[in-house]
Amino acid sequence: MSVFKLAMHPASEGDALVLTWGTDPAKLHHALVDLGRTADYRIIKPYLSSTQTFELFCLTHIDADHIEGAVPLFKEAALPMKANNIWFNSRAQLAAATERRAVSERERMGAAQAEKVTAGIVASKWPWNAQFQSGVVSTQSPEAASPIDLEDGIKLTLLSPSDSKLASLLPTWDAELAKAHLRTTDPDEVEEALAAGREALSIGLDVEKLASEPFGIDTTRPNGASIVFIAEFDGRRILMAADSHPDLVEASIRALGYSETNRLRLDCLKVSHHGSKANTSPSLLKIIDCTRFAFSTDGTKHNHPNPQTIARILKNDPARQKTLIFNFHQPNTDQWNNNGDLKTKWNYDCVFPDHGAVGVEIDM
Ligand SMILES: [Zn+2]
């Protein structure tokens, strides 16, 4: 019996995800997708040390809740792990996407985190974006036209970013990074967000009403540059949506031949942007066939997941039994769990970390 599973480690409001697969349960392979924040890295470090080798380490984009944990990793005198491949679009790749030229020189980056991560990647000597001859992880790199093979037969189909999403990030790279860096030391912002969340929770959970709110799409450029892929192993599929924009992901899925009448079957969707209401569109949900939805966030800072996203997921497929998977108990997730009538009416249940466990693991 082959193994294919997703682990959502605790990563504050961000992601620290691990895919594990293998035909031989004694010889499993792992892919690490993002590393949360610095404090999250401290928690996950023993796991990284004991796992030792990752087939892929993907840093999906430059927001602090995905990349900050990689800074202390690369600061370690001896790296606690080894990656056989690393995927990360640094400033050099954004420039290359703009001009589609060979990357001959790594340019310096403006902001501290990405600069440190880039230096760390260079020092690690881990093969960097090696599957892409241009060095750019983009749907427009020729290699992305077909699935990319990693160890033991897993296939990764790239859905995001595109050259234009990467290119549009370039002019705001410094500003966005500086902002992301500031977030780590701004308690006022945290308190503001918590207050907004308490307000949001009081509106109650009217699924019909929440689902019918007009969809306003995320336009933030770092999120749009997220690396997104479908991982397929032994007939099972998970879509790792990072913090992506739904318009590009939808277009990429349609380009693979899927539509409302020929939906992409998924065993799990790692919901984009921690369940933000601006990243999972009703039209994207219509072209996927999926009953398990995973949300990685402790709800701090942005009150994710937004109830509109969960309402849209429930409303999209009311008849079938659905599972919502959360890696934290927190007000924005518990409210969906503590309502038996709602669960019966909309046919869903909730999965949380086992009592005393750190993070949650899902078999595909
Ligand atoms: Zn994020």
What is the residue-wise DSSP string for 85-115?
Answer: -EE---HHHHHHHHH-----SPPP-SSHHHH
- Collect residues with CB below 5 Å from ion ligand 1: 14, 65, 243
Rounded distance from Cα 154 to ligand 1 centre (Å): 25
- Which pLDDT score, from 0 to 100, does residue 199 have? 46
> What is the pLDDT averaged over residues 289-307?
95
| More confidently predicted of 211 and 181 | 211
Number of domains in the chain: 1
> What is the pLDDT averaged over residues 57-85?
94
- Which pLDDT score, from 0 to 100, does residue 113 have? 74
pTM of the model as a whole:
0.87
Rounded distance from Cα 46 to ligand 1 centre (Å): 23
269, two tokens: 């969707």
Rounded distance from Cα 305 to ligand 1 centre (Å): 11
Structural contact between residues 243 and 226, judged by C-beta atoms closer than 8 angstroms: yes
Rounded distance from Cα 343 to ligand 1 centre (Å): 27
Rounded distance from Cα 164 to ligand 1 centre (Å): 20
The whole-angstrom separation of Cα 214 and Cα 220 is: 18
Rounded distance from Cα 67 to ligand 1 centre (Å): 9
Rounded distance from Cα 243 to ligand 1 centre (Å): 6
Structural contact between residues 130 and 85, judged by C-beta atoms closer than 8 angstroms: yes
DSSP lists the bridge partners of residue 156 as: 148, 231
Does position 159 have pLDDT exceeding 60, yes or no? yes
Rounded distance from Cα 2 to ligand 1 centre (Å): 31
Task: State the pLDDT confidence band at 170, using cuts at 50, 70 and 90.
Answer: confident
> What is the pLDDT averaged over residues 190-204?
47
Secondary structure class of 186 (helix, strand, coil): coil
The whole-angstrom separation of Cα 328 and Cα 12 is: 9
Count of beta carbons in the 10 Å neighbourhood of residue 53: 11
Structural contact between residues 71 and 117, judged by C-beta atoms closer than 8 angstroms: yes
The whole-angstrom separation of Cα 232 and Cα 29 is: 13
- Which pLDDT score, from 0 to 100, does residue 171 have? 77
Percent helix, strand, coil in the chain, to 5, is 40, 20, 40
The whole-angstrom separation of Cα 123 and Cα 236 is: 35
Rounded distance from Cα 297 to ligand 1 centre (Å): 8
**CATH label of the domain that carries residue 357:** 3.60.15.10
- Residue range of the domain that includes 163: 3-363
Backbone angles phi, psi at 30, to 5 degrees: -140, 145
Cis check: omega of the bond before 305, within 30 degrees of 0: yes
Rounded distance from Cα 33 to ligand 1 centre (Å): 12
Does position 295 have pLDDT exceeding 50, yes or no? yes
Does position 103 have pLDDT exceeding 70, yes or no? no
Does position 173 have pLDDT exceeding 50, yes or no? yes
- Which pLDDT score, from 0 to 100, does residue 239 have? 98
The whole-angstrom separation of Cα 255 and Cα 257 is: 5
Percent of the chain with pLDDT over 70: 88
| More confidently predicted of 19 and 64 | 19
Give the Cα-Cα-Cα angle 211, 212, 215 (nearest 5 degrees).
90
Of residues 150, 135, 325, the one with CA closest to residue 229? 150
Rounded distance from Cα 38 to ligand 1 centre (Å): 14
pLDDT digits (tens, 9 = 90+) for 199-251: 445 457 899 999 999 999 998 888 999 999 999 999 999 999 999 999 999 99
Does position 348 have pLDDT exceeding 70, yes or no? yes
The whole-angstrom separation of Cα 141 and Cα 268 is: 26
Work out the mean pLDDT of the chain and round it to a whole number.
Answer: 88
Rounded distance from Cα 13 to ligand 1 centre (Å): 7
Question: What sign does the CA torsion over 41, 280, 260, 347 have?
Answer: positive
DSSP lists the bridge partners of residue 86 as: 57, 128
Does position 193 have pLDDT exceeding 50, yes or no? no
Rounded distance from Cα 186 to ligand 1 centre (Å): 17
pLDDT digits (tens, 9 = 90+) for 128-143: 998 998 889 999 999 9
